[in-house]
Amino acid sequence: MIDFHPVRAFLEPAHLELAEGVGDYAAAEFAGHARHDDDDVVRRYAREICASLGSGGWLKAIARQDFRACAVTRETLAFHSPLADAMFALQALGSTPIALAGDTRQRRLWLDRAVRGRAVAAFAMSEPEAGSDIAAMRSTAVRDGDAYVLNGIKTFISNAGIADFYLVFALTDPGAGAKGISAFLLPTETQGFRFVRPLLMADPHPLGEIALEDCRLPASARVGGEGEGYRLGLATLDRLRPTVGAAACGMAGRALHEAIHHALTRRQFGRALADFQITQEKVGRMATDLTAARLLVYRAAWERDGGAERTDVEAAMAKSFATEIAQGVVDDAVQILGGRGVLADHPVDRLYRSVRALRIYEGATEIQRLIIARHLFDAARAGPDEPPE
């Protein structure tokens, strides 16, 4: 079980109870599961995981928009299964825009089903020429009477090919740049929708590319107003970024757990690895970095749950720091385990392949640091503090 004592100041009793429940569930559900390297197998298993999370009630925090609960759940799931964490995250990404701006029908038809694990969600924003630069989007949604006709290509879309609905972002006013982007709910069975191809990752994950070819959607499929898609997309990412940090902490925590167990049981030169100072230095640094990351993550989630109007800086700090240190912690764990750490059937090898993507998706580390720096410079320009005498 993960010890949430170090971050208890940011949590309510209900969060600690949730941590215990999801920990018991994940330990039982994912213990002993073999790693699947075949893409088709992973895609089927991903849908099974989503259904299991929904039937267990572990997705309800998404509808409640309780981000500390989301962080607790993601950290715990990531500790036991990176793929289970990914499925929780993707349900959150595809559903949060509906929770924020969806009408009653959209919430009933899609949000409720997603939270129950009965509909798999996807968040379709990235394009071949629009990754970090969302304003470079080229997909269009042209108004035609009481409908919109969508055209474009979306790539690096998680759950592509297995999702039941996509939260698609497209230009309703191409001349307005980011302010011309709108959001739409697109069911998979929509005529003109096409799953183009899977994109294979180092750690198997249902990633792929989709095409929109004269997809006709009723105006009621729009989520929020015209031109509000960019703001809605950023609001979604802002809310969920701390939970990416939580997932990173879960992976780092599992790596640290495996490294400590190995160091205590593996003997070299007549002594346990744990008795060597170089091992102790690594473990001490890993534990300290992990604790600092968790504090940033749960502070950001606490700020958001507390009603803070904006948490972009806190979220950026949490996401960038936690994902970067998680990469280091996992790498140190591989080094402590030596040859065992790179065997394909060892949990640390899976973590090594899983953790890398967290530094890129939902805003790369470099972008997060730009957000932080710009905030500091803007604050200084608005009212620079006098240096102490």
**Residue 203, C-beta contacts closer than 8 angstroms, at least 6 positions apart:** 82, 350, 353, 354, 357
User: Cα dihedral sign for 294, 55, 118, 112?
Assistant: negative
Secondary structure of the chain in the HEC alphabet?
CCCCHHHHHHCCHHHHHHHHHHHHHHHHHHCCCCCCCCHHHHHHHHHHHHHHHHHCCCCHHHHHCCHHHHHHHHHHHHHHCHHHHHHHHHHHHHHHHHHHHCCHHHHHHHHHHHHCCCCCEEEECCECCECCCHHHCCCEEEEECCEEEEEEEEEEEECCCCCCEEEEEEECCHHHHHHHEEEEEEECCCCCEEEEEEECCCCCCCEEEEEEEEEEEEHHHEECCCCCHHHHHHHHHHHHHHHHHHHHHHHHHHHHHHHHHHHHHCEECCEEHHHCHHHHHHHHHHHHHHHHHHHHHHHHHHHHHCCCCCCHHHHHHHHHHHHHHHHHHHHHHHHHHHHHHHCCCCHHHHHHHHHHHHHCCCCCHHHHHHHHHHHHHHHHHHCCCCCCC
Q: Is 362 a catalytic residue?
A: yes
- Of the residues 228, 258, 362, 366, which is catalytic? 362
Integer Cα distance of 43 and 271 in angstroms: 45
Rounded to the nearest angstrom, the gap between the alpha carbon of residue 231 and the centroid of all alpha carbons in its chain is 19
Residue numbers annotated as active site: 362
